Copies of this chain bind each other. A is one copy, B any other.
Protein backbone atom coordinates (compact mmCIF):
# COMPACT_ATOMS: atom_id res chain seq x y z
CA UNK A 1 0.00 0.00 0.00
CA UNK A 2 1.20 3.54 -0.80
CA UNK A 3 0.11 6.90 0.56
CA UNK A 4 -0.18 10.62 -0.15
CA UNK A 5 0.98 12.77 2.76
CA UNK A 6 0.96 16.58 2.90
CA UNK A 7 1.55 19.15 5.66
CA UNK A 8 0.18 22.69 5.84
CA UNK A 9 0.24 25.29 8.59
CA UNK A 10 -2.73 27.60 9.01
CA UNK A 11 -2.50 30.84 11.00
CA UNK A 12 -5.69 30.32 12.98
CA UNK A 13 -7.04 28.59 16.05
CA UNK A 14 -7.32 24.82 15.82
CA UNK A 15 -11.09 25.05 16.45
CA UNK A 16 -11.58 27.00 13.21
CA UNK A 17 -9.59 24.48 11.16
CA UNK A 18 -11.48 21.59 12.73
CA UNK A 19 -14.85 23.16 11.82
CA UNK A 20 -13.75 23.45 8.19
CA UNK A 21 -12.91 19.72 8.11
CA UNK A 22 -15.61 18.22 10.32
CA UNK A 23 -18.77 19.79 8.88
CA UNK A 24 -20.36 19.54 5.43
CA UNK A 25 -20.66 23.33 5.35
CA UNK A 26 -16.93 23.62 6.08
CA UNK A 27 -16.00 21.09 3.40
CA UNK A 28 -18.21 22.88 0.85
CA UNK A 29 -16.11 26.00 1.31
CA UNK A 30 -12.72 24.50 0.38
CA UNK A 31 -13.20 21.15 -1.46
CA UNK A 32 -16.40 21.26 -3.50
CA UNK A 33 -19.44 23.50 -3.21
CA UNK A 34 -21.71 20.50 -3.81
CA UNK A 35 -21.15 18.67 -0.50
CA UNK A 36 -24.09 17.04 1.22
CA UNK A 37 -24.82 14.50 3.93
CA UNK A 38 -24.46 14.30 7.69
CA UNK A 39 -21.20 15.03 9.47
CA UNK A 40 -21.56 12.36 12.13
CA UNK A 41 -19.62 9.20 12.84
CA UNK A 42 -21.04 6.32 10.79
CA UNK A 43 -22.90 8.64 8.39
CA UNK A 44 -21.94 9.33 4.79
CA UNK A 45 -21.05 12.51 2.95
CA UNK A 46 -21.38 12.95 -0.82
CA UNK A 47 -19.11 15.31 -2.76
CA UNK A 48 -19.95 16.13 -6.38
CA UNK A 49 -17.70 17.98 -8.83
CA UNK A 50 -18.92 20.12 -11.74
CA UNK A 51 -17.52 22.16 -14.58
CA UNK A 52 -17.98 25.92 -14.40
CA UNK A 53 -20.93 25.39 -16.77
CA UNK A 54 -22.58 23.04 -14.26
CA UNK A 55 -21.95 19.62 -15.82
CA UNK A 56 -21.11 16.93 -13.29
CA UNK A 57 -17.65 15.44 -13.87
CA UNK A 58 -17.39 13.12 -10.91
CA UNK A 59 -18.58 12.32 -7.41
CA UNK A 60 -17.42 10.55 -4.29
CA UNK A 61 -18.98 9.17 -1.16
CA UNK A 62 -17.23 8.62 2.13
CA UNK A 63 -18.18 7.37 5.57
CA UNK A 64 -17.12 9.40 8.59
CA UNK A 65 -15.08 6.97 10.65
CA UNK A 66 -13.75 9.35 13.27
CA UNK A 67 -14.30 12.86 14.62
CA UNK A 68 -12.10 13.92 17.54
CA UNK A 69 -12.80 17.60 18.20
CA UNK A 70 -9.81 19.83 17.40
CA UNK A 71 -7.62 16.76 16.81
CA UNK A 72 -8.62 14.38 14.05
CA UNK A 73 -11.05 13.74 11.18
CA UNK A 74 -11.14 10.33 9.51
CA UNK A 75 -12.98 9.38 6.30
CA UNK A 76 -13.31 6.09 4.40
CA UNK A 77 -14.24 6.20 0.70
CA UNK A 78 -17.15 4.01 -0.37
CA UNK A 79 -17.80 5.34 -3.89
CA UNK A 80 -15.82 7.32 -6.44
CA UNK A 81 -12.89 6.56 -8.75
CA UNK A 82 -11.98 2.87 -8.71
CA UNK A 83 -8.51 3.62 -7.33
CA UNK A 84 -10.09 5.34 -4.30
CA UNK A 85 -12.19 2.35 -3.19
CA UNK A 86 -11.25 1.46 0.34
CA UNK A 87 -8.75 4.29 0.69
CA UNK A 88 -8.97 6.52 3.75
CA UNK A 89 -8.28 10.18 4.42
CA UNK A 90 -7.06 11.31 7.83
CA UNK A 91 -6.52 14.90 8.93
CA UNK A 92 -4.57 15.32 12.19
CA UNK A 93 -4.30 18.73 13.84
CA UNK A 94 -1.87 20.19 16.34
CA UNK A 95 -0.67 23.63 17.32
CA UNK A 96 2.87 24.97 16.69
CA UNK A 97 3.64 28.61 17.39
CA UNK A 98 0.97 30.72 15.59
CA UNK A 99 -0.03 27.84 13.34
CA UNK A 100 -2.48 24.99 13.38
CA UNK A 101 -0.58 22.23 11.60
CA UNK A 102 -2.65 19.91 9.41
CA UNK A 103 -1.03 16.56 8.71
CA UNK A 104 -3.01 15.14 5.80
CA UNK A 105 -2.86 11.49 4.76
CA UNK A 106 -4.70 9.73 1.95
CA UNK A 107 -3.72 6.15 2.69
CA UNK A 108 -3.97 2.67 1.21
CA UNK A 109 -3.62 3.25 -2.51
CA UNK A 110 -2.81 -0.06 -4.22
CA UNK A 111 0.09 1.32 -6.27
CA UNK A 112 1.96 4.42 -7.50
CA UNK A 113 -0.22 5.01 -10.58
CA UNK A 114 -0.26 8.26 -12.59
CA UNK A 115 -3.77 9.00 -11.26
CA UNK A 116 -2.32 9.01 -7.72
CA UNK A 117 0.23 11.61 -8.89
CA UNK A 118 -2.66 13.73 -10.22
CA UNK A 119 -4.62 13.37 -6.97
CA UNK A 120 -1.54 14.27 -4.93
CA UNK A 121 -1.30 17.62 -6.79
CA UNK A 122 -5.05 18.22 -6.46
CA UNK A 123 -5.01 17.52 -2.70
CA UNK A 124 -2.19 20.09 -2.39
CA UNK A 125 -4.37 22.60 -4.28
CA UNK A 126 -7.36 21.88 -2.01
CA UNK A 127 -5.24 22.13 1.15
CA UNK A 128 -4.13 25.58 -0.07
CA UNK A 129 -7.83 26.36 -0.54
CA UNK A 130 -8.47 25.20 3.06
CA UNK A 131 -5.64 27.44 4.30
CA UNK A 132 -7.03 30.42 2.38
CA UNK A 133 -10.56 29.73 3.64
CA UNK A 134 -9.59 29.72 7.30
CA UNK A 135 -7.06 32.57 7.05
CA UNK A 136 -9.03 34.92 4.80
CA UNK A 137 -12.65 33.69 4.83
CA UNK A 138 -12.63 32.62 1.17
CA UNK A 139 -11.39 29.32 -0.21
CA UNK A 140 -11.47 28.05 -3.80
CA UNK A 141 -13.75 25.01 -3.75
CA UNK A 142 -14.66 23.23 -7.00
CA UNK A 143 -15.72 24.38 -9.57
CA UNK A 144 -13.48 27.38 -8.82
CA UNK A 145 -10.44 25.26 -7.93
CA UNK A 146 -7.07 25.78 -9.62
CA UNK A 147 -6.80 23.40 -12.59
CA UNK A 148 -3.50 21.58 -12.84
CA UNK A 149 -3.65 19.30 -15.88
CA UNK A 150 -5.88 17.78 -18.60
CA UNK A 151 -7.60 15.60 -16.00
CA UNK A 152 -8.64 18.80 -14.23
Binding site for B on A (CB under 8 A): 2-9, 96-99, 101, 103-105, 112, 114, 116-118, 120-121, 124-125, 127-128, 131, 146, 148-151
For the complex, give the distance between the alpha carbons of A150 and B150 in Å: 32
In the complex, the answer to whether B114 meets A103 with C-beta atoms within 8 Å is yes
Interchain CA distance A7-B112 in the complex, whole Å: 12
Q: How many copies does the complex hold?
A: 2
Quick check: B120 and A8 within 8 Å, CB to CB?
A: no
Q: Known interface pairs A2-B2, A104-B117, A117-B104. Does A7 touch B149 (Cβ–Cβ under 8 Å)? A: yes
Contact present for B117 and A120 (CB under 8 Å): no
A6 close to B121 (CB less than 8 A)? yes
Tell me the bound Cα distance from A104 to B112 in angstroms.
12
* A112-B5 CB under 8 A given contacts A120-B124, A124-B125: yes
CA–CA, A74 and B2, complex, Å: 22
- Once the chains bind, are A128 and B150 in contact (CB under 8 Å)? no
